[in-house]
Chains A and B, each alone.
Chain A
Amino acid sequence: MKKIFFLLFLPFIFSSCLEEIEFDIPDDQRDKIAIQGKLLKGNPSIVEITVTSLFDFDGVNNPNRQAGAVVTLHRRNGQQIEIPYFIPRLSHYLEIEVDNPDFEIEENKEYQLRVELADSRKYESDWEMLLPTPNPNKIEIDVVQKQGFGNANTVEIQDYLEVYINTPLKANGASENQYFFWEKEGVHRLTGGLSSPDTSKICYVNHSISNDKLLLANGKTISGDSASIFLFDTRIDYRFAQGYYLTLYQQAMTQNAFEYFEKIDELIDRDATIFQTPAGRVRGNIFSSVPSEEVFGFFYVAQSDTIRLFIEPQDVGSPALFCPPEVIPMAETFDNYPCVDCLFALNSTLIKPDYWVE
């Protein structure tokens, strides 16, 4: 359902407004535990879990890692494997090879997460079924024009890239359409210092497209065996000036997991509408051994299928570079560092991704 109504009505549209206010929230939730993670079947399969306490709603304190937590992954047949803490990712992280005989990752099998904290508090998830995921057919893109605000806060027409995924709605053997979740990744190329291009220096910048909207689709509400599903749109800007690789990870998940993420999506993608569903408390599938203790988070399992699309600059109207060549970079301004050296861009590397083929 699209976000309805509010934008309307009448002259009020001219003066209605959304403005930031101070809101006094007590910071008494810091002792509550959140466990969030996933098992993604692939080659290799990966397991990644975070075990933290809550942090304040305004982000004053950081997530407090529960040091010493023992995290184990279990399979119904009795196999189990410990997931160690992996410092570079600030999480419990493990890659499991396809042919690992000690812990097999298979479709239509159930898995469970168990966590024991250093203070002996114990938590476990519901058993989650690993469902097969249909292979997506292709990524489709479209360039559209939308109204937006320019740098001088003036209304202007801007180019946007709309991204769709064309996919079967059920995997082989599945009896009905499935629930889908996508993760996305964008990498764009940046050459040298842009104001004085050094073409010998090529950076690859991993760019988060957006983090405030989950990509979900309920296949059960879509007719037919396949569909072209709108996923997201993004402004066409300097990221697309020298080549852009879009990667989507398609996952089919259980109804429980889908409903959890659907609720989370409602919480993080809230519009300023007077008719929006009120926020609420989302209960996950992880429970404490002490029934009265409230614990947050969800553990889900899925087969992850990867699909990529290389977007040439000319596909999207050849947008301008990050720094127009005539602009003399001001090195003391952080934002302009990439104009001097592309490695100054956030999440930039000289290592070309192995999938990068033009």
Chain B
Amino acid sequence: MALKLRKSAIDLEEVVVEAEAPDANIDRLEIGVEQIDMQQIKKLPAVLGETDIVKGLLLHPGVSTIGEGAIGFNVRGGDVDQNLILQDNGVLFNTSHALGFFSSFNTEMVKNVELYKGNIPAQYGGRIVSVLDVQMRDGDFNKFKMKGGIGPVSSRISLEGPLQKGKNSVLFGLRSSYTDWVLKQARNLEVQNSSAFFYDANFRFTQRFKNNNSLIISAYSSDDSFDYNETFGFDYNTLMGQINYKSILGKDISSDFSLVASQYQSSQFDYIGLDASELQNEVNLIKAKESLYIVGKNGEEIDVGLSSTLYSVKVGNRLPFGEGSQVIPKELENEKGLESAIFLNASWIFTTNLSISGGLRLVNYMYLGPKTIFQYEDDENPSLTNTTGTILQSGILNTYWSIEPRFSARLKLNPTTAIKMGYSRTAQFINQLFNSDSPTPSSQYQLSTPYIEPSRSHNFSVGVFKNSKDNNWESYIELYGRAIDRLVEYKDFAQLIANEQIETELLSGMGRSYGMELSVKKKKGVYNGWLSYTLSRSERQVQGISNNNWYPSNFDQPHNLALVFNYQYNKRHTFTVNFNYSTGRPTTAPIGNYRTPDGLIIPVFSERNQFRIPDYHRLDLAYTLGMGYRKTSKIKTSWTFSVYNFYGRRNAFSVYFTQKPYAPTRANKLSILGSAFPAVTANFEIQ
């Protein structure tokens, strides 16, 4: 039989192809960038089965934490608040649920995660150490889908689909905890009488226009609340909205405009007694940013733009709670600051092998009134005893400028080997104040003021990148250094709560960190995974601390090792082993005692951070049974079985020294996790 075919034109659905070249790590110009593999993150063993971006970050060189239950993460020995956390263009001030056990990112909603560890492009600013850029994904433009996951303490669900097929999409995601049943299993009645809850919700609407322009409207909300036996509790929440308009202005030029409003509120409650109180903190942000992306005739790429961010900070109100409280209300004046910047970043391909990127960010920061400013005899050393009075000022109270050059270079020695280097100058005008091992959800934010100057940092990196076996093996070794001026440090026993003269509790000093990062990764194959190792130091020098000598910062962990090993029998079955090791972090310990006439033994502590807690190590296991191969299935499921802290290591979070009457001082270690934590998580997808 002979069939005659006739030509016919039909409209095909749009297909978006996104892929990364296998040697992208060699080609990429910037040094010190970690790109997170979202598929791998979902297979990692996680605490109680809750997939977590931040926990995934910790498996990369230069990223660490001070322990389970600590809020945030530390990059190259930096402080938690020195990381700029972006969700699209919006700034997040707290990325943790449940005091740091889980991150606030719903992995179901995330498209891409990049961490700039030191060499930060000029488009970014406002923090001195790193930028975590979390890009959220669009919903499906063609069909409706529902995805979800059910774990032991939380579940998540997402819905997506078009309102007009091919033209727009809506994506909605919700994640919520149900921990009370777990608390009820506690042996301790007080824990049984407690409650804990968190949720986060994402919304994203994307409209594509015929001229290839697009509009994105997104919103994010999260809330955590705790109540401990009606004794104390806290509540913290984030609310953020964004509008983003992307337009093609010409053949080689495009525009990206965004407007962001963000609010982070926290309350801490003491319910009982004369001092029953509520402590309130809040930071609000409104940010506008416009950037142009231009491609030159010779392949140059230019990012130029401006941004302006208005901060409004409630620095800590302490109010009586309940009728019996005799706490004197203390409401401090709000603070305002305006941070504006123009930036230019340009990349040139000089030769096939040599590319250079240079940039400049010019920042102006203004501390705004009206505000009551305390006056001191010595402005360099403000203290309660040399306070001379106050003055109410309006308008611009103080201005700081920051000129921040950025530079990167990449020299390809051959198609699989490159040498890269980078430098960036960064400044930070807002800090989170916490005088403890880990910030609390209610640790206040503090703007730069006439007495608290912005921190500034020089960041240097140089490294060699090498691929092999057809780019299946990636490796690099990087050396880095950082020097910080005007680092905010705390006096011993600093009183930070609702303190209108906060500058009298702070010290200004210098910081330095330096180290070597090594990464070896096998991307594909039945056996794959990676090894990360960091050798580093993070130190500080502050007048009035440790006899003015350099001392280790709280985040100084000289050795940090992570090993991730996957045995991927086929695309459906993956067995993952994850091992972590790090040097114990510094602590301050008692070195002697004296006794009062009444027999009270008073410990004398060492200079700051002169000792170390025991080293940390942990092994996790996971088995993932992936979704089935049949593409026609309406419902697909996957399962992850994991054991976190497999051998039940009681890692020390802190070392505490306790004394009892008539007994010598004893050292004790506090372990947050004291056993293995098995978990099962079920994921589903309906389409």
Contact B593 A270 (CB under 8 A): no
Q: Does B468 contact A (CB under 8 A)?
A: no
Residues of A within 8 A of B597 (CB): 36-38, 48-50, 89, 91, 93
Q: Does A30 contact B (CB under 8 A)?
A: yes
- What is the 8 Å Cβ interface bit string for chain B, positions 156-186, against chain A (1 contact, 0 not)? 0000000000000000000000010011011
Contact A19 B669 (CB under 8 A): yes
Contact A17 B493 (CB under 8 A): no
- What is the 8 Å Cβ interface bit string for chain B, positions 631-658, against chain A (1 contact, 0 not)? 0000000000000000000101111111
Residues of A within 8 A of B186 (CB): 13-14
Residues of A within 8 A of B268 (CB): 4
Determine how close the nearest CB of chain B comes to the CB of A186; give it in whole angstroms. Answer: 13
Contact of A2 among B270, B666, B670, B675 (CB under 8 A): B270
Contact B657 A275 (CB under 8 A): no
Q: Does A67 contact B (CB under 8 A)?
A: no
Number of B interface residues at 8 Å Cβ cutoff, please give it. Answer: 95
For the complex, would chain A's binding face be called helix, strand, loop or mixed by DSSP majority? loop
Q: Bound state CA distance, A224 and B324, in angstroms?
A: 12
Beta-carbon contacts under 8 Å, A58-91 to B: 58-60, 63, 89, 91
Q: Bound state CA distance, A16 and B677, in angstroms?
A: 12
Output the nearest chain B residue to A270 by Cβ-Cβ distance.
B656
Contact B187 A276 (CB under 8 A): no
Residues of A within 8 A of B231 (CB): 2
Residues of B within 8 A of A8 (CB): 99, 194, 196, 226, 228
Residues of A within 8 A of B660 (CB): 211-212
Beta-carbon contacts under 8 Å, B54-98 to A: 67-70, 98
Determine how close the nearest CB of chain A comes to the CB of B463; give it in whole angstroms. Answer: 35
Contact A23 B655 (CB under 8 A): yes
Residues of B within 8 A of A175 (CB): none
Contact B182 A11 (CB under 8 A): yes
Contact A54 B592 (CB under 8 A): yes
Q: Does B435 contact A (CB under 8 A)?
A: yes
- What is the 8 Å Cβ interface bit string for chain A, positions 262-276, against chain B (1 contact, 0 not)? 111011101110111
Contact of A279 among B190, B605, B652 (CB under 8 A): B605
Beta-carbon contacts under 8 Å, A1-46 to B: 1-2, 4-5, 7-23, 25-26, 28-30, 32, 34, 36-38
Number of A interface residues at 8 Å Cβ cutoff, please give it. Answer: 83
Contact B671 A13 (CB under 8 A): no
Q: Bound state CA distance, A279 and B437, in angstroms?
A: 11
Residues of A within 8 A of B668 (CB): 18-21, 272
Q: Does B629 contact A (CB under 8 A)?
A: no
Q: Does B600 contact A (CB under 8 A)?
A: yes
Output the nearest chain A residue to B655 by Cβ-Cβ distance.
A23
Q: A19-B668, A274-B436, A274-B437 are in contact. Are A280 and B188 (CB under 8 A)?
A: no
Q: A223-B328, A280-B493 are in contact. Are A11 and B48 (CB under 8 A)?
A: yes
Contact of A16 among B590, B659, B670 (CB under 8 A): B670
Q: Bound state CA distance, A271 and B589, in angstroms?
A: 15
Contact B605 A280 (CB under 8 A): yes
Q: Does B526 contact A (CB under 8 A)?
A: no
Q: Does A100 contact B (CB under 8 A)?
A: no
Q: Does A333 contact B (CB under 8 A)?
A: no
Determine how close the nearest CB of chain B comes to the CB of A143; give it in whole angstroms. Answer: 16
Q: Does A227 contact B (CB under 8 A)?
A: yes
A-B contact list, 12 entries, CB within 8 Å: A5-B232, A9-B101, A11-B48, A11-B153, A12-B672, A13-B191, A17-B674, A223-B328, A224-B326, A268-B603, A278-B588, A282-B604
Starting from the known contacts A58-B666, A268-B603, 19 additional A-B residue pairs (CB-CB under 8 Å) come to A4-B234, A5-B99, A8-B196, A16-B670, A21-B669, A25-B611, A50-B595, A57-B589, A57-B591, A91-B597, A155-B187, A155-B188, A211-B662, A223-B320, A229-B274, A262-B493, A272-B668, A274-B436, A278-B588
Closest 4 CB pairs of A and B: A59-B664, A280-B492, A34-B594, A23-B667
